[in-house]
A = this chain, B = another copy of it.
Amino acid sequence: MSVHTGELRFSTGGDGDVVDLTARIEEVLRSSGIQQGTVSVFVPGATAAVTAMEFEPGGVHDLREALERLVPSEGDYEHNRLNHDSNSHAHIRAAILGPSETVPVTGGRLATGTWQQIVLVDFDDRPRDRTVTVQVLG
């Protein structure tokens, strides 16, 4: 068994921007040479989350709208008041979705579905540079 680490660096638009990480995770997996194991994908930072979805414009739109409805950008938030900040909604949404997913690897490939991508959702209220850590074990 071995461990192989990849770091994906990219910029986001913030404000619920969804970034498809799948091709770059597969690149890390290929370069690891690992055939059977797991890939753990993790975003450092408390205002973004990692999850899976069908990455297409309609689904991206609906997810953003649902989260805006459930946890509105504007609200009476203590985090914003105490820290003279404006992104409390981003913190709440990120904590609900969570920063990590772990995907099995079989036959050198991610065990994802055909219409399922691993994505980062950046909830922060401004564009951000992000680094996602991809850890392959196998």
Q: Are B99 and A100 in contact (CB under 8 A)?
A: no
Which of B5, B46, B51, B52 lies in contact with A104, CB distance below 8 A?
Answer: B5
Whether B57 pairs with A46 at a CB distance below 8 angstroms is no
Question: Assembly of this chain: how many copies?
Answer: 3
Q: Is A79 an interface residue (CB 8 A)?
A: yes
Which residue from B40, B58, B92, B97 sits with its C-beta under 8 Å from A66?
A: B92
Given contacts A58-B88, A62-B77, A62-B91, contact A42 B104 (CB under 8 A): yes
By beta carbon, the residue of chain B nearest A70 is B70
Write the nearest CB–CB distance from A60 to chain B, whole angstroms: 8
Q: Which residues of B contact A12 (CB under 8 A)?
A: none
In the complex, chain B residues whose CB is within 8 Å of the CB of A106 = 5, 133, 135
